[in-house]
Structure 1
Amino acid sequence: MVEEFEVPPEIADHARRFAAEGRSPAVPRLAATVLLLRPTAPAGTTAGGFDVYLIRRVAAMAFGGMYAFPGGGVDPGDSQADLGIDPAALAQRLETDPERAQAIVCAAAREVFEEAGVLLAGPTADTVVGDVSGDDWEAARRALVARDLGFADLLRQRDLTLRADLLAPWSRWITPEFEPRRFDTYFFVAALPGGQVTRDVSGEADHTMWIRPAEAVARAERREVAMLPPTVMTLKQVGACPDIASVFAAAADREPATPMTPTLDLTGDRGPRFTYR
């Protein structure tokens, strides 16, 4: 599938300057992001479909003003948390070494807790903790954000096991070379655990919403909301699935280690455009 996106004039001008000045690309920072999903229909009904959780980054941040999925850069301590599964199998899936794979998945779980208040962990390898919105959990989350507490330490203190099996690898995106801040980001899908709720807790976001993927794409195409191409394309991909189970089935057949990066055409008749294949 080929997707094309218009390039805003300011980004096109930046790309032209980057090429004209012969600059060297910045080294991408390793990162992870999570598409958190929940059924659209209330429990006990027969209606299908699902919503995805989006946050809008504050203007002062990289990609500020854009709606995106919870996520962020990998921290050094992320390789210390026990995954609850064999890291070698995950490393094979992500086509990397076990320590790097462990850090990527732990970053995904940590970020979704920091930015959405959802914890993908449990007291055993086949359970998930319930409500984590109480004051004691909020104090722990704030300590995690401030880096006064490591994610591995949080899990150990509460005798919890990270449920890496709940995070299904979906794709990998690398920021274009001309951007001053670049990320090598692994995308995962995860279902909202029963008994947990998302909370608008992140200081990095100024608005959050649950929305059907197709509706989010339509709003982005009408320019009612701002999203980067990887967000729009990923929403289209998961939106092609009828329910959450189908999303996970589709994830199993994908190649999540193959990096996606756009081709930038500055000379086309329709104006500057990104092309993704």
Structure 2
Amino acid sequence: MASHDLHPDVPPKDASTVILVRDSASGPEVFLLRRVGGMAFAGGMTVFPGGGVDPQDAEADVAWTGPPVSWWAERFGVDEAKAKALVCAAVRETFEECGVLLAGPTAETVVADTTGYADARRRLEARELSFSEFLASENLVLRADLLRPWANWITPVGEHRRYDTRFFVAAAPTGQVADGATSEAEEVAWQTPEQAVADWSQGRTMLLPPTWTQLRSIDQFDSVADVLAAQPEIPAILPTLYEEDGSLRVRFPGQEPYYAAGMHPWAER
């Protein structure tokens, strides 16, 4: 890719991504979806559920339990308005993209079955309904205590679409079924991080560096409890684009094993 194809002046938009985890006989598994090919950003890539923050996420008036907004602001190094938006977006996007809802009728409970909210989920994805309206109409409490802050990656300067993405981890609630009933997914699966990286290394899937890095980080833990108990440092990671032998690559911390397995694109263009 020639340098004149880069877009140096695009500011990143805030986004939230949630790594759903569950225990299995082989260790923790994560929920992954392959995005529909041809999408404007990361089309065809295998990713965790997530998406951009909406203006309504910052304005959401929701019942909330768990760490206060000030705690999230400190952990992610942002102001409280942005912290609230990031957490609300994380819960909303997870529900939209895979039907998992981190909310419950009380501060101590979580919805056991989300199938009854299928129409609301469709309307949320179509932006016909705000997340705060949905929670209020169903008398649900947002369970911020089910989330943990995990990482922060920023799309490299030069991409035509850029995101400042905060990663969260959360245990899949008992009884709820993560699915692929969204317009953005071609295929979904639960896999151990080792299986997911093996599929990528064998060319069966495409992983962006942030996804690949988070898979490797989750693979260090023996159980969901261990994942949730971790308190990782969360530096803002801003990879850089560079050309090598006529190919565009991205430089990021710990990149050596990524490129040792073969060149993989940062994003489709």
Q: TM-score, normalised to structure 2's length?
A: 0.88
Task: Assess if the C-alpha contact under 8 Å between 1:29 and 1:73 holds in 2.
Answer: yes
Residue aligned with 1:266, SS: strand
**Aligned-pair distance for 1:126?**
1.7
* Partner Cα separation in structure 2 for residue 216 and residue 202 of structure 1: 21
8 Å CA contact 1:172–1:184 kept in 2: the answer is yes
Gaps of 5+ in 2: 254-269
Identity of aligned residues (%): 45
Correspondence 1:17 to 2:1: no
2:37 alignment partner AA:
A
Contact 1:83–1:106 (CA under 8 A) maintained in structure 2: no
Q: Deviations over 1:46-99 (max 9, x none)?
A: xx5121111111112111010000100000111213432321111111111111
What's the counterpart of residue 47 of structure 2? 68
Q: Distance in 2 between matches of 1:108 and 1:77?
A: 13
* Matching residue within 217, 237, 258 for 1:237: 217
Q: Give, in whole Å, the separation in 2 of the partners of 1:138 and 1:26.
A: 35
> How many residues were matched structurally?
249
Moved over 3 A (4+): 270-273
Contact kept, 8 Å, 1:83 with 1:102, in 2: the verdict is: no
> Which residue pairs with 1:84 in the alignment?
65
Amino acid of the structure 2 residue aligned with 1:121: A
User: What does residue 141 of structure 1 align with?
Assistant: 121
Alpha-carbon offset, residue 248 of structure 1? 1.4
Structure number with greater Rg is 1
**What does 1:189-208 correspond to in 2, within 5 Å?**
189-208=169-188
Amino acid at match of 2:210: P
User: Does the alignment pair 1:106 with 2:84?
Assistant: no
Give CA deviations for 1:182-227 in whole Å, capped at 9, x if unaligned: 0000001011001111122110111111111011011111211111
**Aligned AA for 2:16?**
A
3-state SS, counterpart of residue 96 of structure 1:
coil
Q: Which residue of 2 aligns with 1:154?
A: 134
Q: Shift in Å at residue 177 of structure 1?
A: 0.6
CA deviation string 1:24-50 (max 9, x = no partner): 320111000111111113xxxxxx512
Structure 1 gaps of 5+ residues are 1-12, 42-47
